[in-house]
Amino acid sequence: MTRKTRSFRISPALVISCVALFLALTGSALAVGLAKNSVRSAQIVDGTVRTVDLRDNSVNAPKVAPNAIGSEEIAENAVDSPEVAQDALTAQDLGAASVASSEVADQSLAAGDLGPDSVNASELGTVTLRSNSVKVAKGATGSVTASCAAGEQVLSGGGQPGHFGTEMTSSRPSGSGWLYQAVNNTGGEETITAFALCLAG
- Beta strands, E only, the chain: 127-136, 141-147, 152-161, 166-174, 177-184, 190-200
From CA 191, how far away is CA 193, in angstroms rounded?
Answer: 7
Q: How confident is the prediction along the chain (201 residues), in pLDDT tens digits per residue?
A: 556 556 666 666 666 776 666 666 555 555 555 667 777 777 777 878 777 778 787 777 777 777 777 777 777 777 777 778 787 778 777 777 778 877 788 878 887 887 887 777 666 788 999 999 999 999 999 999 999 999 999 999 999 998 999 999 999 999 999 999 999 999 899 999 999 999 997
The per-residue b/e assignment along 98-113, b for 16 or more CB within 10 angstroms, e otherwise, is eeeeeeeeeeeeeeee
Q: Which amino acid is present at 120? A: N
Q: What does the domain layout of the chain look like in residue ranges?
A: 127-200
List strands edge to edge, sheet with 127-136.
127-136, 190-200, 152-161
